Amino acid sequence: MGKKKLKKITTTTLFYLAVAFIAVVILLPIYFLFSISLMSDQEAYNWPIPMAPSFVNKFIIMKSTESEDKYVLSVYSKTRDEYITIYESADLDDMISFAERKTNSRIPKDLLLQKIKELEDVYRKNESEIKAAEEELKGLNERLRSLNSQIRKYRKKMEKITPEMTELQELKKSLEERVNELERQKDDVERRISELTRRLISIGSVSFTVPKNLFANYITFFKVTSDSIPALIRSIEVALATIGISLGIGGPAGYAFARYFFKGKNLLKLSVLFVRMFPGVSIAMPMVIILAKMGFYDRPIGLSLVYSVGQIAMTIWITASIFMGIPIELEEAAQIFGCSKWGAFFHVTLPLALPGLAASAMYAFIGSWSETAQAIILTQFHPTFPVVVYQTLVGAKGLVNLVAAGGVTMALPAILFTIIIRRYILQMWGGITI
């Protein structure tokens, strides 16, 4: 009895582990996309990338060693556990705007001035110590440079000695020892430098935290890609027009399929398949000519016409199944009570079908919103939003966090609507009820 119970617990645990594993695999990339989209340049170009975006930036400000009136601004990096210098200047406005670009935190000028005043006090108090540490640091840095150049020189010499030169092997060995010795010294010097730097920070700096603007990348994305706000509006226009066309034609057709002849269901499924058989790009290319003739090329309405071709069969399929689920007896009953045929439809069937129709509208929205391949071909000077994101992605490989912001902007409505209409999608693909 106990054994059986144990076995059951084990299988259940394993089962849930498997489910959790799949969920993690699905969610992880989405999580990282989102998380990177909230990161500042400073975080996103770090190695390793932090596992989560930070909400505040911790800055320190120090006096420059080069000149009296310059200040050095550094920001704390969580992943490296050290302060990274980002700007050295006497011009505070420059410093603020650079820091904002780099860290997505706008340091208030008052705060900066106040901190600089504090810094001067700290400096006066610890002046001798700071000077000594700076002096030592200078020497150490020089030593590091000379060590590095020596190591390079010896390495070059060693490379010249190939294994064939037997008489020189002895020399090579001694060179190797020398290099190892130098490397050890270098390590020591480096350790001392980082120690001193930390000490300098503790005695000669003032720290402060500034909240980070989490959505800075989103704002920058819309600013940098000048086309993106009109593109976003166009995308919405296209989606709405697609919904209008496909529901306007597909809805009545679906009703007809549901009420008047029942045999069409297989035909419909085949036609859904048939539309998918032609690559979207293959349909889009000749459409360029046709739309140009109609004067619809490079305009939202043209795009939505093309999208509707792909959507209508699907809409008919969905709406037909919705109307089939509403018994015709209800309509008949309404007619008996004195409703006209249209009245029965509008007062009885339509309200019942409304949630389903809304779902099919959202389905059309997701399709049109996400569509990229055809839009790349069918637009030229007036791209839709996915095309703008695509161009940023393909054109500028460097802007990881900006592209991520664009990607998230694309993904959010799609995910939202998918979750709202999940029941219908799941049902459509074979009637899973949840």
Interface with other proteins includes 370 (CB under 8 A)? yes
Measured from the CB of residue 125, what is the shortest distance to other proteins in angstroms?
Answer: 40
Q: Determine, following the binding rule CB under 8 A, whether residue 27 of this chain makes contact with other proteins.
A: yes
User: Min. distance of Cβ 283 from other proteins in angstroms?
Assistant: 5
Contact between 49 and other proteins by CB under 8 A: the answer reads: yes
Q: Pick the stretch among 13-21, 101-109, 183-191, 315-323 that binds other proteins (CB under 8 A).
A: 13-21
Question: Of 6, 9, 51, 111, which one interacts with other proteins (CB under 8 A)?
Answer: 51
CB 382 → other proteins: shortest distance, Å? Answer: 16
Verify binding: residue 263, other proteins, rule CB under 8 A: no
Residue list 397-416, contact with other proteins (CB under 8 A):
397, 400, 403-404, 406-408, 410-411, 414-415
**Residue 47 binds other proteins, judged by CB under 8 A:** yes
Instruction: Yes or no: say if 185 and 146 are a contact pair by the CB < 8 Å rule.
Output: no
Q: Is 429 in the site for other proteins (CB under 8 A)?
A: yes
Q: In this structure, what token pair is assigned to residue 101?
A: 């670009």
Nearest alpha-carbon partner for 175 in 154, 153, 156: 154
The minimum distance between CB 333 and other proteins, in angstroms, equals: 31
Q: Which helix (H) or strand (E) holds 205?
A: none
Q: HSE on the CB side for 215, CA within 13 Å?
A: 6
| The two structure tokens encoding residue 388 | 């703008």
Given 6, 7, 9, 18, the residue binding other proteins (CB under 8 A): 18
| 389 binding other proteins? (CB under 8 A) | yes
Among 114-122, 148-156, 243-251, 277-285, which window interacts with other proteins (CB under 8 A)?
277-285
Site for other proteins in 57-86 (CB under 8 A): none
Strand 71-77 and strand 206-211: the pairing is unpaired
| Closer CB to other proteins, 26 or 219, in the complex | 26
Q: Is 282 in the site for other proteins (CB under 8 A)?
A: yes
Residue 81 gets the label, from left (phi > 0), alpha (psi -120 to 50) or beta, of left
Decide whether 97 or 372 has the Cβ nearer to other proteins.
Answer: 372
